[in-house]
Amino acid sequence: MTVTLRPAGPADLDAITEVMLACWRESYATVLPERAIATMTPELVERLWTRALTGTAPGAAIVAVSEAGAVLGVTRYELGPDHGGIVQSLYVSPRAQRLGIGARLLSAAVAGLRDLDAPRFHLWVFADNAPSIAFYQRQGWVLDGTSRVQAGFDVEELRLEYAGSDPDPGRSSALRRTASDIVASGPDAPAGVSIGLRTAGGEFTAVTGNRSLGDTAEPMTLSTHHDLASITKILATTTALIALVSAAHVHLDDPVARYLPGFTGDGKETVTIRQLLTHRGGLWEWQPLYLNGRTGETAIRYVEQLPLRYRPDTARHYSDLGFILLGRVIAAITGVRLDEAVKHLVTKPLGLDATGYRTATSPAIADIAVSAPGDVTEQRMVATGVPYPVLESDARFGGWRSRPIAGEVNDGNAFHAFGGVSGHAGLFSTLGDLLDYAWALAHYRDHDSLWNPRVVETFLTDGPDAEQALGFRRYRFTADGKTTTMYGHPGFVGCVVGFSPDAGVALALCSNRLARTDNPVPNDELWSLARTAANTQLTGLDPKARR
C-alpha cells in the first residue's frame, strides 16, 4: 500500500471524523471506561475538527491517504500559549494500523513544530493506554511526570515530552551526534541511521536521514522497518534453538543428519548442531542456490549434497549455508514452517509484534527502508566468483532485481530460493523490537518461562574462537571504564544488535548502508561508532541506573 501525507482541509472533515470515532470505539475500548468513550459523540468530533481545520492558530493538520484517496490517519499540532509545541491529536484507522503510518504522522508533526521554532514539544496520552505510551516512547518521547484529568472525561492523562527537544542537552546527545555524523560522513554513508540504547535508567534514541532515496525520499523514523539480513541468524534461528534445547527437543551435540537425513557423505555425518552454530561445520560459506532454477526443496537438497569445503571443527568459516540447514532443522523438529516456528518460539513470547518474515503474500508496510538499488552485489559475486568461488560454471539465472528493494528480503538465496523465509536471512524488524529482543537477552534470567537460563549461558560461553559464541558474535563493550562482553550480530544490509548481561544494556543500530553506494561503510565501523556512543551516553548516567 502506498501512503502519502498531505495537509488536511475542510473537505476531509467527514473522513477525519470517521477515523477518530473508529479509534475511540475500537482501539480505546480496552483502555477507557465506557462512560468516557460515550462522551466522544459524532457531533463533538465534528465541532472539534471544524475549529481545527478552519482556525488561525499557528499549526496544522496532516492526513495520511491511500492511493485511492481514503484518509487512513490524521495528526494535528500547534503552538501553545508559552510557544511550546503541542501534538494535539494523532489517530490511525484501526484497519490501517501496524503499517508505520502513526510514526510518519508523528514525525511530520515534529518537523512542523520545528519549522515553527517551538523550543520543546509535548503531548498527552491516557494513563491506561499502555500500547500508545509504548509507541510514543519508541519514537523518542518520555514521560515527564505530569498528569491531568480533563472535565467531561474524568480519566487520567499523562504528559510526554519529546526527547529531541529535551532541555537537558546530555539526554541522547551522544547517540544523536553519532547518527548525524554517520549520515554526513560522505557519499558512501548510509542514507539514514537510527540508534537505540536501553538501560535500567532509561531508553535513549536518535534517528536522522532518509529511509528511501530520490525525489520522493521519505525520512527514516524510529518505527521504520528494516531488513535484518543475518541478524536473522540469532534473533530467529539461534533463539529458537535456545528454546528447543531448553525443552530437550534437540541437543547441541546431535548430528545434523539426525534431523536432515539427506546431509550425508563426505564426513558430513559427524557435523553437529553446535558446529553449525559456531561456523565450524566445514561447509561452504556461500553459494548462489537459486541458479539453474533451484527453489525450496531442490535448493535444500543441493546444500545437503555439496561436499564439505573444510574439515569439520578445525577452524571458523562463517557460513550462510550452515544456518540455512539449521533453519531446516528447526522446521523438522517442530513440524511447521520456519516462520511459524519462529513466531511460536521467539517473536510472540517476546512480544516482538513488528518482527517477522516477509513473503509474497505479506501485507505492505508504509514505513519500510530501501535496502539496496537491486541485486547488484550478488550479481557481481556470481559474475566474478569473489569473495567465494561459484561452483557451477554453466550458471543460468534471469531473475535479477534491477529496482530499489523495499519490503522484500535483500539476500538472494532467501528471496530467490526460499521465498523470503530462511534460517540465515529474511527477518524484518524495527529499532524498538530489536531493543526489546536485546533487553530480554541482557536479562535472560528473568525469562525462565521462555528458556532455561543455564542453556542461555551455554550459548554465551566462550568457544575456540574469540569472536564467536553459539550463534552470537562477541564484542568488547566498554562503559565508564569497565570492559565487558557484548553479544549480538550484524546484518549485511546495515543493522546490528547487541546485549550485555554484565552491563545490563541493550544496543541497536539500523541503517540502509547499501542504498546509495557500491562502496558502503563497513558494518564493523558503524557498530564500533554505536558502541562508543553508548559508552559516552552511559558515562553520564548514575551508575545505579544502568542495571
Number of domains in the chain: 2
Q: Are residues 354 and 264 part of one domain? A: yes
163 falls in which pLDDT band (50, 70, 90)?
low
Q: What is the dihedral of CA 141, 144, 147, 152, to 10 degrees?
A: -30
What integer is the mean pLDDT of 201-228?
A: 89
Q: Which one-letter DSSP state was computed for residue 307?
A: P
Indicate if 489 and 345 belong to the same structural domain. Answer: yes
Same domain for 263 and 374 = yes
Q: Are 129 and 259 in the same domain?
A: no
State whether 238 and 158 are in the same domain.
no
Looking at 162, 187, 210, which one is the last position of a domain?
162
Burial class (CB in 10 A: 0-12, 13-18, 19+), 76: buried
Residue type, 172: S
For residues 531 and 213, give the distance between their C-alpha atoms in angstroms, rounded to a whole number: 27
104 belongs to a structural domain: yes
Residue 200: inside a domain: no
**H or E element: which one contains 311?**
none
Q: How far apart are CA 243 and CA 237, in angstroms?
A: 10
Q: Are residues 158 and 233 in the same domain?
A: no
Asked if residue 318 has pLDDT above 80, the reply is: yes
Q: What is the mean pLDDT of residues 340-354?
A: 95
**Per-residue pLDDT averaged across 368-381, rounded?**
95
User: Is the overall model pTM greater than 0.85, yes or no?
Assistant: no
For the chain, the straight-line distance linking the first and the last C-alpha, in angstroms and rounded, comes to: 42
154 in a structural domain: yes
Total length of the chain: 547
CA 185 to chain centre: 24
CA 419 from centroid of its chain's CA atoms: 20
Nearest to 99 by CA among 368, 352, 355, 360: 368
Range ranked top by mean pLDDT from 23-37, 193-207, 229-243, 516-530: 229-243
Is the confidence at residue 51, as pLDDT, over 60? Answer: yes
Compute the mean pLDDT over every residue in the chain, rounded to the nearest whole number: 91
Q: Residue 397 above 80 pLDDT?
A: yes
Strand boundaries in 177-255, DSSP class E: 192-199, 202-209, 226-227
In the chain, the amino acid numbered 276 is: L
Q: Under a CB-based contact definition with an 8 Å cutoff, are residues 278 and 316 in contact?
A: yes
Compute the average pLDDT of residues 11-27: 94
Same domain assignment for residues 152 and 252: no
Per-residue model confidence (pLDDT) at position 215: 80
Q: Which of 162, 191, 211 delimits the end of a domain?
A: 162
The answer to whether the beta carbons of residues 112 and 120 sit under 8 Å apart is no
- Do the beta carbons of residue 193 and residue 527 sit within 8 Å? no
Contact criterion met (CB below 8 Å) for 289 and 310: no
Beta strand pairing status for 156-162 and 59-65?
unpaired
Q: Does residue 54 sit within a domain?
A: yes
| Residue 100 covered by a domain | yes
Residues 374 and 502 in one domain: yes
Query: Which of 514, 481, 482 shows the shortest CA–CA distance to 374?
Result: 514
Q: Does 293 map to a domain?
A: yes
Structural domain harbouring 325: 225-538
Q: Lowest mean pLDDT: which of 31-35, 278-282, 391-395?
A: 391-395
Shared-domain flag, residues 125 and 249 = no
Q: Are residues 251 and 153 in the same domain?
A: no
pLDDT of residue 542: 40
Q: Answer for the pair 157, 145: CB distance below 8 angstroms, yes or no.
A: no
- Which of 133, 89, 93, 139 lies closest to 1, judged by CA? 93
Lowest mean pLDDT segment, chosen from 74-78, 158-162, 501-505: 158-162
Q: What is the pLDDT of residue 547?
A: 46
Query: What pLDDT does residue 331 have?
Result: 98
What pLDDT does residue 166 have? 39
pLDDT tens digits, one per residue of 349-374:
998 989 999 999 999 998 999 999 99
- Cα–Cα nearest to 122, from 144, 139, 148: 144
Residue 326 has pLDDT above 80, yes or no: yes
The contacts of residue 446 (CB under 8 Å, 6+ apart) are none
Phi-psi region of 80 (alpha: psi -120 to 50; beta: other; left: phi over 0): beta
| 544 — pLDDT class (breaks 50, 70, 90) | very low
Same domain for 158 and 229, yes or no, is no
Q: Is residue 189 part of a domain?
A: no
Residue 95 counted as domain residue: yes
Task: Answer yes or no: is pLDDT of 169 > 60.
Answer: no
| CATH number of the domain where residue 139 is located | 3.40.630.30
Instruction: Name the 3-class secondary structure at 45.
Output: helix
Alpha helices in 184-334 (DSSP H): 232, 239-246, 273-277, 296-305, 320-334
> 400-434: buried (b, 16+ CB within 10 Å) or exposed (e) per residue?
ebeeebbbbbbbbbbbbbbbbbbbbbbbbbbbbbb
Residue 343 CB: number of other CB atoms within 10 A? 19
Last residue in a domain, options 162, 185, 207: 162
Same domain? 502 vs 377? yes
CATH number of the domain within which 473 lies: 3.40.710.10
Residues 304 and 295: their CA atoms lie apart, in Å, by 14
pLDDT at 1: 54
Per residue in 225-280, pLDDT tens?
999 999 999 999 999 999 999 999 999 999 999 999 999 998 999 999 999 999 99
pLDDT tens-digit readout, 415-436: 999 999 999 999 999 999 999 9
